[in-house]
Amino acid sequence: MKCLFIFQITVPPGVVEGHQFEVIITPPPPAVARAALPTSAFATATPTHAEPTAAHAAPVEASMQGSVAGAAPLISKANPFGPSSAHAADSSAAAVWPVGSIKDETDLSFAALGPSAPTPGAQLSLSPDQVRGALLPLGLPAETLAVLWEQADVDKDGRLDTDEWALAQWLCRRCLAGVPLSSPLDPVLIPPSKRQ
C-alpha cells in the first residue's frame, strides 16, 4: 500500500530558483505518526499506485549532517552512495543542470535549424546567423541578445552546440518571463559537458 503525503517545505535562505537543496524527512514510528494526526487524516488517505512524478523524484544535493536519533546519518566522503562521491557526481551532473529540463525540446529545435560541423570531424553546431535568425523573432532587445550570446557560447568558439543552444533557449525564456540576465552566468547553468 502506498500513501501520498503532502509536506510544506520552507526554502532555506540563499537558495534561488534553479538551485537545489536537500530535504530529509524521517517518518516517526507508525504509532507516533497515527497519534499525531487527526482521525480524519486516516479516513481520507487512500492507497495509490501512481509512480512518483518528476518533481517528487528530482535529485537533491546538500550536506548530510547529524548523528542524533531522528536526524540524517553522517555520511563519509568515501561512501560511494553519498552526495560527494565520484559516482554521485558522475551520475547526477546532468540531472542537476536546470537547463536539462528543456533539453529534449531544444534538441529538436537545434536539429530543425540545420546544424553543421565547421570543420570535418567537429561537433555539429549553429552559426551566429542561424542563432540570430532563430532568436530575433522573440522580440528581445538586441542588447539583451548580445549578452545572452556571450553567456550561451560557453566555450567561446563563435558557434552554439546542442548544449549551448539549450542554454540560450533557457536564458531567452527567463528574459521573456521578466527575469534579467545575471552577470556573470550562474555556474549551475554551465552545461555539464563544458564544466572543467
Residue 188 has pLDDT above 80, yes or no: yes
Which one, of 17, 18, 37, lies nearest residue 27 by Cα?
37
Amino acid at 175: C
Q: Which residue has the higher pLDDT, 16 or 59?
A: 16
pLDDT at 196: 80
Share of the chain above pLDDT 90, in %: 49
Going by pLDDT thresholds of 50, 70 and 90, the confidence category of residue 34 is very low
Above 80 in pLDDT, residue 23? no
Say if residue 77's pLDDT is above 80. no
Give the confidence band of 127 by pLDDT, cuts at 50, 70, 90.
very high
- Give the C-alpha separation, 26 to 67, whole Å: 13
C-alpha dihedral (154, 156, 160, 166), degrees to nearest 10: 10
Residue 142 backbone phi and psi in degrees, to 5: -60, -35
Beta bridge partners of 126: 160
3-class DSSP state for residue 128? Answer: helix
Q: What is the mean pLDDT of residues 158-175?
A: 97
How many CB atoms are located within 10 Å of the residue 45 CB? 13
- Chain centre distance of CA 121: 31
Across the chain, what does the average pLDDT equal? 73
Taking a C-beta distance cutoff of 8 angstroms, is the pair 119, 39 a contact? no
Q: Check residue 96 and give its pLDDT.
A: 82
Tell me the backbone φ, ψ of residue 74, rounded to 5 degrees. -75, 125
- In degrees and rounded to multiples of 5, residue 125 shows phi and psi of -155, 170
Q: Where are the alpha helices (DSSP H) in 26-161?
A: 30-36, 39-44, 54-57, 86-92, 103-112, 128-135, 142-152
Counting Cα atoms < 13 Å in the Cβ hemisphere of 100 gives 17
- Fold type of domain 98-194: Recoverin; domain 1 (1.10.238)
Average pLDDT for 156-183 = 95
